[in-house]
Structure 1
């Protein structure tokens, strides 16, 4: 595999990010192209892409706030986002299927956590499906319990990481 690098997303990344999001998430679980573009434009600091020399192979994005409500669907459109907020809410951690099961999500998480610490954020929150709890636990996220969110008609679990 060619050399990997991280950077903040730019608006011209929207098509590739949407392609990855659509391949990796089922149906309504995937963010729309418009939401992805909004996230890049609104908070590029919290939208990190992982790329090899050829293409973007994964990304992680978030918003920040001082009032975390993980079941709030409006926050996925960054309603209530405050760049100065001390709490980070992750919206997507996604890797192109052809690069999955090769440690790419862990690399993204490690880089993302490092960047959020550098920004002096105090905690990272996310919701995930059951099969991803071990991935996040490996990065010291703590399971908070079942979420009230029914995003995409699925069952979710809330997790957090104190920074």
Structure 2
């Protein structure tokens, strides 16, 4: 992995590249719209971390904070119910551009994101993921909670959580 990288909070000027990565990495309806990504950057930049090398943004993780976690709530993906003071974090995307996948960047992003949420004194992090990604989150301490009721993108999902 190239050691020349930076992790920072997202800015609105990152929107086009983040949307490009989202569309490249996720299939069809699974990808967030440009409007949803912009909403996440504007409403909760401290929960939207960018990983960039010396050339471009290569990946990001974004989330919302809440007082009540409902992982299958599609409206929350538009930050309906988001409250920056909420102690629970719900991750929307952990995504690395396909050109950079398989090089450990998702691990780098997750480690930085977990540290950021600990620094913000959050109590836990929740997410849903595909079966093949359960191991990725498990090695960062997430617990598999079981199948999700979410039908996001017409796919089946698994719920996971990490106590901070």
Matched, 1:142 2:143: yes
Q: Aligned residue for 1:45?
A: 46
Q: Aligned residue for 2:5?
A: 4
2: CA distance, partners of 1:74 / 1:102? 33
- Show structure 1 runs of 5+ residues with no match: none
Q: Aligned residue for 1:55?
A: 56
1: CA distance, partners of 2:66 / 2:27? 27
TM-aligned CA deviation for residue 2 of structure 1: 5.7
- Show structure 2 runs of 5+ residues with no match: none
TM-aligned CA deviation for residue 97 of structure 1: 0.4
Deviations 1:112-138 (A, max 9, x none): 000000000000000000000000000
Q: Aligned residue for 1:86?
A: 87
Q: Aligned residue for 2:66?
A: 65
Deviations 1:57-90 (A, max 9, x none): 0000000001000000000000000000000000
Conserved? CA contact 1:122–1:162, under 8 Å: yes
Runs of 4+ aligned residues of structure 1 deviating over 6 Å after TM superposition are none
TM-aligned CA deviation for residue 95 of structure 1: 0.1
2: CA distance, partners of 1:11 / 1:2? 26
2: CA distance, partners of 1:14 / 1:38? 10
**Alignment coverage as a number of residue pairs:** 163
Query: What's the TM-score once normalised by structure 2's chain length?
Result: 0.98
Conserved? CA contact 1:2–1:53, under 8 Å: no
Q: Aligned residue for 2:98?
A: 97
Matched, 1:29 2:18: no
